[in-house]
Amino acid sequence: MERFSALVLAAGNGKRIKSNKPKVLHKILGKSIINHILDSLVEAGINDINLVIGANGDLVKADVDYDVNYAYQEKQLGTGHATLCAKEILNTEYTLVMYGDTPLIKGDTLSYLLKKADRIKADALILTTIADNPSGQGFARVIRKGFSFEKIVQEEDATALERKCKEVSGGITVFKTSSMFKALEQIDNKNENKEYYITDCINKMKADGGHIETVKIDDSWQIFGVNTREQLAKCVAILKNRINAYHMANGVTIIDPNTTYIGKYVKIGIDTTIYPNTYIFGDTEIGENVVIGTNTEIHDSKISDACIIKQSTIVDSDLGKEVSVGPYAHIRPNSKLGDRVKIGDFVEIKNSSIGTDTTASHHAYIGDSEVGNSVNFGCGSVVVNFDGKNKHRSSIKDGAFIGCNANLISPVSIGEKAFIAAGSTITDDVEADSLAIARNKQENIENWVKNKK
Ligand code: UD1
Ligand code: CA
């Protein structure tokens, strides 16, 4: 059995964010708030993760990237009540309780907290920080007598003097599970908001002689909670800066960190340069000496060394070395581009594999195709993959030349080094080394213009 578990409270309505979807599903750098939190719990080595969900909980479940347990809180009667709702599913000696809206928390902070709670045999170990200006932010104040913990009060219930206290809690606490439930069953909701507060559980423990300690961190952003859209934007900015600083420290040039948005687990090799207005998200891996941007979006893709990607969108695809994409190209899901492929302006590739040294330099569409090496797609050439009902696949073998404005009506196979004349509409397979020409012969009518007058 695991010794530590985590409980994330995410049943609240998130009223202040004014949204039709649960607050925890709002995204920060391509990932929902709840998944950011789960990432950190997993980084902290916690395997037993539990979530309290409420109305709209099915939407949360559908979004969660990890295998976690769920408890249900029907009515949002407060954070203490939400924790009680998870009583049946929590059975480890220690439980880390946190809110579902603090996405900037780091895994190593959480693992430190768990280990310390265990070492000092705390009933509750509270993560705190000094907030420069806590007034009006809804932070619970941590009140001390001398150096030792005295109580924790919600801002709404704090006296004017208590509100002046700058030490706050962001709701991240490690509890001895048995002590926590014992105290939770005895708290009331006689407070400003008529809610059962998890913080009152700490005060109850203290009153009963429990061992309460705190850990103060310098980086206040780690406990920053997202309640409003403005705070959501702030979180994006903070995480973006953290991630960009990490890549720059590792030898990546980011021309304008203000307008470069990189997801948390993106990998980038040294001497890669990223130009402004670029978004790189998801499970993306970028090699060395790559040039990306401006105005580029990459999701869940692998970009190998020395590629050049300009003003383009790449989704769920795999690019070999020295591939050049753009400007204004779209590489759609499930595409694989071999080394030195050149995809030029206004070219779209979808669900296709493209061999090495193949070029499609201007205005082409290649969908549902197997393309060999050193194929040339002329300007405006199109693989016609959709007949109005079904998609079909085509294959274009090594060295084939597809003339400008040719249509290859799928399914069709173009043999090695075959030559498709410009403007042809190809409906039948073409043998290797053959010329296929499928268009009307040109007719010139002398003096036609003059005679018309
Ligand atoms: C909360 C804390 C406050 C802390 C601050 C830090 C309480 C009462 N308030 O205030 O001490 O300083 O965060 O940002 O503990 N939730 C439920 N069920 C409920 C109520 C809330 O699951 O009945 C969940 C929410 O989904 C949310 C979290 O608990 O993820 C915190 O609730 P929220 O309304 O954001 O509390 P704050 O007012 O920010
Ligand atoms: Ca909050």
The question of whether 299 is a catalytic residue gets the answer no
Ligand 1 pocket at CB < 6 A: 9-12, 52, 73, 76-79, 81-82, 99-101, 138-140, 154, 168-171, 195, 197-199, 225, 227
The 3-class secondary structure across the chain, one letter per residue, is CCCEEEEEEECCCCHHHCCCCCHHHCEECCEEHHHHHHHHHHHCCCCEEEEEECCCHHHHHHHCCCCCEEEECCCCCCHHHHHHCCHHHCCCCEEEEEECCCCCCCHHHHHHHHHHHHHHCCCEEEEEEECCCCCCCCCEEEEEECCEEEEEECHHHCCHHHHCCCEEEEEEEEEEHHHHHHHHCCCCCCCCCCCCCHHHHHHHHHHCCCCEEEEEECCHHHHCCCCCHHHHHHHHHHHHHHHHHHHHHCCCEECCHHHEEECCCCEECCCCEECCCEEEECCCEECCCCEECCCEEEECCEECCCCEECCCEEECCEECCCCEECCCCEECCCCEECCCCEEEECCEEECCEECCCCEEEECCEEECEEECCCCEECCCCEEECECCCCECCEEECCCCEECCCCEEECCCEECCCCEECCCCEECCCECCCCEECCCCCCCCCCCHHHHHC
Counting ligands in written order, which one lies closest to the CA of residue 199?
A: 1
Top mutation candidate among 59, 79, 196, 198 for ligand 1, by most atoms within 8 Å of CB: 79
Q: What is the pLDDT of residues 28-48, one digit of tens each?
A: 999 999 999 999 999 999 999
The pLDDT value recorded for residue 366 is: 98
Q: Angle between the 33-43 and 107-120 helix axes, to the nearest 10 degrees?
A: 50
| Residue 251 scores a pLDDT above 80 | yes
Q: What is the pLDDT of residues 203-229, one digit of tens each?
A: 999 999 999 999 999 999 999 999 999
| CA distance readout (Å), 347 to 235, 303, 378 | 36, 18, 11
Q: What is the pLDDT of residues 86-119, one digit of tens each?
A: 999 999 999 999 999 999 999 999 999 999 999 9
Average pLDDT over residues 3-16: 94
Residue 76 CA, closest ligand 1 atom number = 23
394/414 Cα distance (integer angstroms): 8
The pLDDT value recorded for residue 2 is: 84
Distance, first Cα to last Cα, the chain: 95
254/116 Cα distance (integer angstroms): 38
Average pLDDT over residues 177-194: 97
Residue 139 CA, closest ligand 1 atom number = 12
Counting ligands in written order, which one lies closest to the CA of residue 23?
A: 1
Q: Angle between the 198-207 and 177-184 helix axes, to the nearest 10 degrees?
A: 100
26/328 Cα distance (integer angstroms): 29
| C-alpha 233 to ligand 2 mean position (Å) | 15
* Cβ pair 281, 292 in contact under 8 A: no
Structure tokens belonging to residue 312: 């383009």
Q: What is the pLDDT of residues 252-271, one digit of tens each?
A: 999 999 999 999 999 999 99
| Residue 1 scores a pLDDT above 80 | no
The pLDDT value recorded for residue 188 is: 97
* Cβ pair 101, 116 in contact under 8 A: no
Structure tokens belonging to residue 217: 């961190």
| C-alpha 225 to ligand 1 mean position (Å) | 9
**Polymer length of the chain:** 453
* Cβ pair 256, 276 in contact under 8 A: yes
Q: What is the pLDDT of residues 284-306, one digit of tens each?
A: 999 999 999 999 999 999 999 99
**Which band of pLDDT confidence, cut at 50, 70 and 90, is reported for residue 13?**
confident
| C-alpha 32 to ligand 1 mean position (Å) | 18
* Cβ pair 349, 330 in contact under 8 A: yes
| C-alpha 121 to ligand 1 mean position (Å) | 26
| CA distance readout (Å), 301 to 187, 245, 297, 420 | 51, 22, 10, 32
**Which band of pLDDT confidence, cut at 50, 70 and 90, is reported for residue 137?**
confident
Interstrand relation of 94-99 and 167-176 (parallel, antiparallel or unpaired): antiparallel
| Residue 347 scores a pLDDT above 90 | yes
| Residue 453 scores a pLDDT above 80 | no
**Which band of pLDDT confidence, cut at 50, 70 and 90, is reported for residue 202?**
very high
* Cβ pair 362, 345 in contact under 8 A: yes
Which residues in 4-30 are b (16+ Cβ under 10 Å) and which e? bbbbbbbbbebeebeeeebbbbbebbb
**Which band of pLDDT confidence, cut at 50, 70 and 90, is reported for residue 416?**
very high
Burial of residue 278 (number of CB atoms within 10 Å: 0-12, 13-18, 19+): buried
Burial of residue 449 (number of CB atoms within 10 Å: 0-12, 13-18, 19+): exposed
